[in-house]
Amino acid sequence: MNFENRYRAHPESVVNGGTIDLTVDLGFYTRRETRLHLSEVDTEETQSTEEPVVQDPEETVRQAEQELTKKNFVDEWIATAGTGGEWPLVIEVHKPGDDRFGPYFGIVERITDGAVLNVDLIEEFGEDLYPDRDRDQ
Protein backbone atom coordinates (compact mmCIF):
# COMPACT_ATOMS: atom_id res chain seq x y z
CA MET A 1 0.00 0.00 0.00
CA ASN A 2 1.08 3.55 -0.70
CA PHE A 3 1.40 5.23 2.70
CA GLU A 4 1.10 8.75 1.25
CA ASN A 5 -2.52 8.07 0.32
CA ARG A 6 -3.58 6.12 3.43
CA TYR A 7 -6.09 7.59 5.83
CA ARG A 8 -8.09 6.53 8.85
CA ALA A 9 -11.79 6.36 8.09
CA HIS A 10 -15.17 5.95 9.73
CA PRO A 11 -17.98 4.31 7.71
CA GLU A 12 -21.18 6.30 7.27
CA SER A 13 -23.26 4.23 4.84
CA VAL A 14 -23.08 1.58 2.15
CA VAL A 15 -24.38 2.84 -1.20
CA ASN A 16 -24.09 -0.49 -3.01
CA GLY A 17 -21.77 -3.50 -3.07
CA GLY A 18 -18.93 -1.44 -4.52
CA THR A 19 -19.40 2.04 -3.06
CA ILE A 20 -19.35 3.36 0.50
CA ASP A 21 -19.66 6.78 2.12
CA LEU A 22 -16.96 7.56 4.68
CA THR A 23 -15.70 10.26 6.97
CA VAL A 24 -11.95 10.43 6.36
CA ASP A 25 -9.39 11.71 8.88
CA LEU A 26 -6.94 13.81 6.83
CA GLY A 27 -4.83 14.67 9.88
CA PHE A 28 -4.39 17.88 11.87
CA TYR A 29 -8.04 17.70 13.02
CA THR A 30 -9.29 17.85 9.42
CA ARG A 31 -12.06 15.53 8.28
CA ARG A 32 -13.82 15.08 4.97
CA GLU A 33 -16.89 13.15 3.96
CA THR A 34 -16.37 11.31 0.69
CA ARG A 35 -17.81 8.58 -1.47
CA LEU A 36 -15.31 5.82 -2.20
CA HIS A 37 -15.64 3.33 -5.06
CA LEU A 38 -13.87 0.06 -4.28
CA SER A 39 -10.94 -0.63 -6.61
CA GLU A 40 -11.19 -3.82 -8.68
CA VAL A 41 -14.86 -4.24 -7.74
CA ASP A 42 -17.45 -3.69 -10.46
CA THR A 43 -21.09 -3.49 -9.42
CA GLU A 44 -24.29 -2.22 -11.01
CA GLU A 45 -24.95 1.49 -10.64
CA THR A 46 -27.91 2.23 -8.39
CA GLN A 47 -28.66 5.51 -10.16
CA SER A 48 -28.29 6.21 -13.84
CA THR A 49 -28.75 9.22 -16.10
CA GLU A 50 -29.10 7.00 -19.17
CA GLU A 51 -32.37 5.88 -20.70
CA PRO A 52 -33.59 2.67 -19.04
CA VAL A 53 -32.91 -0.48 -21.03
CA VAL A 54 -35.92 -2.75 -21.40
CA GLN A 55 -34.96 -6.23 -20.27
CA ASP A 56 -36.53 -9.42 -19.03
CA PRO A 57 -38.32 -8.77 -15.70
CA GLU A 58 -36.91 -11.98 -14.22
CA GLU A 59 -33.37 -10.86 -15.11
CA THR A 60 -34.05 -7.48 -13.52
CA VAL A 61 -35.19 -9.17 -10.29
CA ARG A 62 -32.17 -11.51 -10.32
CA GLN A 63 -29.76 -8.58 -10.73
CA ALA A 64 -31.48 -6.61 -7.96
CA GLU A 65 -31.21 -9.60 -5.63
CA GLN A 66 -27.49 -10.01 -6.43
CA GLU A 67 -26.83 -6.33 -5.74
CA LEU A 68 -28.72 -6.51 -2.44
CA THR A 69 -26.68 -9.58 -1.46
CA LYS A 70 -23.42 -7.71 -2.19
CA LYS A 71 -24.61 -4.64 -0.29
CA ASN A 72 -25.57 -6.80 2.71
CA PHE A 73 -22.14 -8.46 2.59
CA VAL A 74 -20.44 -5.04 2.74
CA ASP A 75 -22.78 -3.91 5.57
CA GLU A 76 -21.88 -6.99 7.63
CA TRP A 77 -18.16 -6.68 6.81
CA ILE A 78 -18.13 -3.09 8.03
CA ALA A 79 -20.20 -3.94 11.12
CA THR A 80 -17.44 -6.29 12.30
CA ALA A 81 -15.03 -3.33 12.22
CA GLY A 82 -17.01 -1.65 15.02
CA THR A 83 -14.53 -2.67 17.71
CA GLY A 84 -11.81 -0.63 16.00
CA GLY A 85 -12.69 2.58 17.83
CA GLU A 86 -13.61 5.90 16.23
CA TRP A 87 -11.57 5.13 13.11
CA PRO A 88 -12.08 1.38 12.49
CA LEU A 89 -10.94 1.46 8.85
CA VAL A 90 -7.87 2.47 6.90
CA ILE A 91 -8.31 3.41 3.26
CA GLU A 92 -5.82 3.84 0.45
CA VAL A 93 -7.19 6.33 -2.05
CA HIS A 94 -6.33 7.03 -5.67
CA LYS A 95 -7.92 9.02 -8.47
CA PRO A 96 -7.38 7.72 -11.98
CA GLY A 97 -6.50 10.37 -14.53
CA ASP A 98 -6.36 14.11 -14.01
CA ASP A 99 -10.06 14.72 -13.33
CA ARG A 100 -10.22 16.80 -10.14
CA PHE A 101 -13.93 16.19 -9.79
CA GLY A 102 -14.04 12.52 -10.75
CA PRO A 103 -14.72 9.71 -8.31
CA TYR A 104 -12.29 8.46 -5.68
CA PHE A 105 -11.28 4.81 -5.87
CA GLY A 106 -9.61 2.88 -3.10
CA ILE A 107 -8.88 -0.11 -0.94
CA VAL A 108 -10.56 -0.54 2.46
CA GLU A 109 -8.83 -2.35 5.32
CA ARG A 110 -10.23 -3.23 8.78
CA ILE A 111 -7.94 -2.24 11.64
CA THR A 112 -9.09 -5.07 13.92
CA ASP A 113 -7.89 -7.95 11.75
CA GLY A 114 -6.23 -6.46 8.64
CA ALA A 115 -8.92 -7.86 6.32
CA VAL A 116 -9.30 -6.04 2.99
CA LEU A 117 -12.87 -5.48 1.80
CA ASN A 118 -11.93 -5.46 -1.89
CA VAL A 119 -10.26 -8.88 -1.60
CA ASP A 120 -13.07 -10.35 0.50
CA LEU A 121 -15.70 -9.20 -2.03
CA ILE A 122 -13.78 -10.76 -4.92
CA GLU A 123 -13.34 -14.02 -2.99
CA GLU A 124 -17.03 -14.11 -2.04
CA PHE A 125 -18.60 -13.12 -5.37
CA GLY A 126 -15.87 -13.73 -7.95
CA GLU A 127 -17.23 -13.68 -11.49
CA ASP A 128 -20.53 -12.12 -10.36
CA LEU A 129 -18.60 -8.86 -9.98
CA TYR A 130 -17.58 -8.90 -13.65
CA PRO A 131 -20.51 -10.41 -15.59
CA ASP A 132 -19.63 -8.71 -18.90
CA ARG A 133 -15.93 -9.58 -19.00
CA ASP A 134 -14.60 -12.05 -21.52
CA ARG A 135 -13.86 -15.29 -19.64
CA ASP A 136 -10.68 -15.88 -21.70
CA GLN A 137 -8.92 -12.71 -20.47
Q: Considering the entire predicted model, what is its pTM?
A: 0.76
Given a cut of 50, whether residue 136 has pLDDT beyond it is no
CATH topology for 3-45+55-129? OB fold (Dihydrolipoamide Acetyltransferase, E2P) (2.40.50)
> In angstroms, rounded to a whole number, what is the distance separating the alpha carbons of residues 68 and 71?
5
The domain ranges of the chain are 3-45+55-129
At 115 the three-state DSSP class reads: coil
Q: What is the pLDDT of residue 44?
A: 57
Q: What is the mean pLDDT of the chain?
A: 81
DSSP state of 30: E
Instruction: Give Cβ neighbours of residue 110 (< 8 Å, ≥ 6 apart).
Output: 77, 80, 81, 84, 88, 89, 116, 117
